[in-house]
Structure 1
Amino acid sequence: MQTASVIRRVRLISGLILFAYVVSHLVNHMAGLVSVAAMQAVLEVQRLLWVSPPGLLLLYGAFLLHAGLAIWTLYARRDFRLQQGEVWQVLLGLAIPPLLILHIAGTRGIESLLGTEVGYPTILLIYFELSPVSGLRQLLVLLVVWAHGCLGIFLWLRFKAWFPRWRSALFAGALLVPTLALAGVWMAGQWAQYLYDLRQAPFTDALVAQIADPQKLLFIGAVERGFLLGYGGLLLAALAARRVRRLLEHRRGVVVVTYPNGRRVRVPRGTTILEASRSAGIPHASLCGGRGRCSTCRVRIGQGLSAVPPADTEEAKVLHRVGAAPNVRLACQTRPTEDLEVQPLLPPNVTAREARARPGYLQGDEREVVVLFADLRGFTRLAETRLPFDVVFLLNRYFRTTGEAVEGAGGRVDKFIGDGVMALFGVERSAADSNGRQAARSALRAAQTMVEGLQEVERVLAGNSSGADSSQRRGTEALRIGIGIHIGPAIVGEMGWGDAVSVTAVGDTVNTASRLEQATKDFEAQLVISAALAERAGLPSDGAERRHIELRGRRESLEVLVFSDARHLKLAAVEGQS
């Protein structure tokens, strides 16, 4: 497994070196938008970097390593069930060596014929005037190499937490760079054709005759065919060796992988769990294609765990990132040596979102939190006396006020429900920490700020009133709010589907907080909190009425504190206890 990790790292580094060369090459082409002289000047700078002995060693070494590892991967792969992105990456990658062979023969070969370094004027003459087919072939090389590199970088970066923010910019760059490069080459090519028609230097008949020497062109063609036959032979050898390896593996013995539905898959010893799933056609999530970059293929191992080889450094990092239990492993990196039982933990249609490094609680965790519910009183009746625009304006101001109150106190707005709001406190850090004191106090502070902010909303609405409708608005009731807060255990995690996924909480604590908010109607109060929350916050009960209420779904009554006006909370005394 450690060897596979090293191979992946070497392939990534060599690929990035080649991609850097391609970028510099395209920048060179972009200079054609200025002039051919500018292209030649940039080429001279580029040669200082890539044609120097260290540069050549780095470039050709990266190419040989990357191409060699591609053939090795073809040999080592146990199946060819690939995702669409992987299919294109493999096909484009296999097409690059023969295309580059033709490209190198067409440039270095010409240099050998002329006995000197070939600059852009000569290359442009060949591709736009003497051999347009060769020019189209070079265009194909450009597009294939760029597409392969961009796809590889995308498959590498898409699991990074910052990638969604930069995805659009990177995609725009992936389109803009080759477009500008092609435009530069086209502009320079038109210039070359113009000078050739005038037979101006360096586009002379003598140069054309030297380039078009039939004997020298036959030699270049023979070299190209030799390289292509050699490359094809390497591919066939890799496939033949793969077949021989499969036969030898079956002779060394097999292991049985058992899935939750009772299905048993027999595979050669040394096969990964992911490869076992794919060989049997069992859907198994793996967004990175089995490279160990994501965690979507992870499985829980039952019987046979003790015989599973330990995780290597790279796999251990990924498992630690997602807070995996000791019996959870990456299916793409685990090669069982004995029979075992596995259970995939993520659905086959999982998205990249689940593969990124995220806090452990987002995956589902039971923790103690503070839940706050708030609701406008009599809003339906109030909305009936106002224009639709005013209703939307009122709600948006109210949502802004409550949202700012919650976030300002350190909480998280869970959702807006009609004219109500649900907020959570202590999600990132369980409310059980420090006995829930900070989360409880934050929720009380948010409740007080909500009530104070509602008065500001009323003043804005009064200032927004005008004309005949203003008298009608002044005759309506003042805005009233009911708030319920409770503390207790809840299941927290990212829940939902599609674009409607968000961090939320479910459980009895949430239900209780909602019913406390509804109880404000019965008590004609602004705030009802559980005695447990007041105790956690160290809140004095001055100005509050203690009651025991029966809540639907609970066997025992719940002791609560009722405040007719949340602005009278003794939060100063609470803060003084910190």
Structure 2
Amino acid sequence: MQLTLRRLQLGSGVVLLIYLFLHLLNHTLGIWSLDLAGRGLTLALHLWHSVPGTILLYGSASLHFALALHTIYMRRYWALPPAEWIRIWAGLSLPLLLIRHAVTTRLAASLYGFEPNYERIVISLITSGTQGLQLALLAPGWIHGCLGLWFRLRKYAMVRRAKPALFALLVLLPLLSAVGFLRMMRAVAAMHAILPAPDPKLVAHQLALDAWRHNLVVLYLSLIVSAFVAGQLRNWFDRRRMRKASLNA
């Protein structure tokens, strides 16, 4: 069972890492032009908004999160090396950043017909003052995925030899993505003497989207805390039972 769970965790994690890689790569295209990044976004939307892509992406995300809750619940000791703490921090912080983005783009598109493109997304971020959040959005997930993959594959000599190149990819891709997004922000600002208001569909349904965002964050944090507390209670009962057994012996 443990081997099966590890394989499911690895497989779902690889799907999410591919999603993050393509998203970061798409932002990087903004270094060259807003139009090129827009064409990349169109291809990404065709891939991930298709029925198979939606099932694969959200199925993998749900499975990976469920397995993370299982790991938190089952863990008996929390004395971990620094790299493992960084991986856990990055993995748990990503959904907090991603929920806002997902609600504003995918949920708004599915429920209210909002059609995302980079110009509309950038205008929405600038007018709401959350462009910094967008820059910080994908880096934690990218770090979490890369470290998780490294921990699984570092036993292979070929992977260890490629460590400098892999480390360069780990660092450079988020940096290039940030540069690309900043270039897109400047391009959008240069196109408009005064930035227009965000898309009317976003404005009209802002309260509903804010409620979705709040409820999803509360649900996410509640599940994490519940898994941790339930695990600690189980550990306490196990230690108590073992002490009683040793006294009776």
Q: Same fold (TM over 0.5)?
A: yes
CA contact (8 A) 2:113 2:201 kept: no
**Match of 2:150?**
154
**Match of 1:177?**
173
Tell me how far 1:88 sits from its aligned partner: 0.9
Write the deviation string for residues 9-38 of structure 1: whole angstroms up to 9, x where unpaired. 111111111000111111111211221111
Tell me how far 1:211 sits from its aligned partner: 5.8
Verify: 1:220 aligned to 2:216, yes or no: no
Verify: 1:189 aligned to 2:185, yes or no: yes
2-structure distance, mates of 1:222, 1:122: 21
* Partner residue of 1:130 out of 127, 130, 149: 127
Write the deviation string for residues 95-153 of structure 1: whole angstroms up to 9, x where unpaired. 122221122112235436862321111011122x3123x22112222111111122212
* Partner residue of 2:10 out of 8, 12, 21: 12
Q: 1:210 to 1:145 in 2, by over 3 A?
A: same
Structure 1 residues not aligned, in runs of 5+: 257-265, 267-578
Q: 1:138 to 1:208 in 2, by over 3 A?
A: closer
CA contact (8 A) 1:125 1:196 kept: no
CA contact (8 A) 1:31 1:38 kept: yes
CA contact (8 A) 1:99 1:141 kept: yes
CA contact (8 A) 1:67 1:97 kept: no
2-structure distance, mates of 1:92, 1:216: 31
Write the deviation string for residues 505-557 of structure 1: whole angstroms up to 9, x where unpaired. xxxxxxxxxxxxxxxxxxxxxxxxxxxxxxxxxxxxxxxxxxxxxxxxxxxxx
**Match of 2:74?**
76
Q: Give the ranges of 4+ consecutive aligned residues of structure 1 lying more than 6 Å apart after TM superposition.
A: none
2-structure distance, mates of 1:169, 1:195: 38
Verify: 1:143 aligned to 2:139, yes or no: yes
CA contact (8 A) 2:26 2:40 kept: yes
Tell me how far 1:163 sits from its aligned partner: 2.5
| 1:131 partner amino acid | S
Task: After TM superposition, list the pairs within 5 Å mapping 1:505-516 onto structure 2.
Answer: none
From the two aligned structures, give the one with the greater strand fraction.
Answer: 1
Tell me how far 1:73 sits from its aligned partner: 0.7
Tell me how far 1:209 sits from its aligned partner: 7.0
Greater Cα radius of gyration, structure 1 or 2: 1
Tell me how far 1:173 sits from its aligned partner: 1.6
Write the deviation string for residues 143-191 of structure 1: whole angstroms up to 9, x where unpaired. 1111112221222222211223211111112222222221111111101
**Match of 2:37?**
39
CA contact (8 A) 2:105 2:114 kept: no
TM-score with structure 1 setting the length = 0.40
2-structure distance, mates of 1:91, 1:209: 34
TM-score with structure 2 setting the length = 0.89
Task: After TM superposition, list the pairs within 5 Å mapping 1:396-415 onto structure 2.
Answer: none
| 1:30 partner amino acid | T
CA contact (8 A) 2:114 2:202 kept: no
1-structure distance, mates of 2:124, 2:137: 16
* Partner residue of 2:228 out of 235, 239, 249: 239
| 1:54 partner amino acid | P
2-structure distance, mates of 1:4, 1:14: 15
**Match of 2:238?**
249
Write the deviation string for residues 67-96 of structure 1: whole angstroms up to 9, x where unpaired. 111111111000111011111111111112
1-structure distance, mates of 2:228, 2:199: 44
**Match of 1:22?**
20
From the two aligned structures, give the one with the greater helix fraction.
Answer: 2
Q: In terms of mean alpha carbon deviation, does 95-104 or 18-27 score higher? A: 95-104
Task: After TM superposition, list the pairs within 5 Å mapping 1:432-451 onto structure 2.
Answer: none
| 1:137 partner amino acid | L
| 2:185 partner amino acid | G
| 2:128 partner amino acid | S
The alignment-based identity, stated in percent, is 32
Write the deviation string for residues 415-455 of structure 1: whole angstroms up to 9, x where unpaired. xxxxxxxxxxxxxxxxxxxxxxxxxxxxxxxxxxxxxxxxx
Q: 1:27 to 1:93 in 2, by over 3 A?
A: same
CA contact (8 A) 1:92 1:145 kept: yes
Write the deviation string for residues 474-509 of structure 1: whole angstroms up to 9, x where unpaired. xxxxxxxxxxxxxxxxxxxxxxxxxxxxxxxxxxxx
CA RMSD of aligned residues (A): 2.4
Task: Work out which structure has the larger RCO, using CA pairs closer than 8 Å and 6 or more positions apart in sequence.
Answer: 2
Task: After TM superposition, list the pairs within 5 Å mapping 1:201-212 onto structure 2.
Answer: 205=196, 207-208=197-198, 210=200
Q: 1:227 to 1:86 in 2, by over 3 A?
A: same
| 2:198 partner amino acid | V
Q: 1:90 to 1:236 in 2, by over 3 A?
A: same
Structure 2 residues not aligned, in runs of 5+: none
2-structure distance, mates of 1:6, 1:185: 39
Q: 1:250 to 1:212 in 2, by over 3 A?
A: closer
* Partner residue of 1:230 out of 209, 219, 232: 219
Verify: 1:90 aligned to 2:88, yes or no: yes
| 1:210 partner amino acid | P
Structure 2 residue matching 1:223: 3-state secondary structure: helix
Tell me how far 1:219 sits from its aligned partner: 2.1
Q: 1:21 to 1:212 in 2, by over 3 A?
A: closer
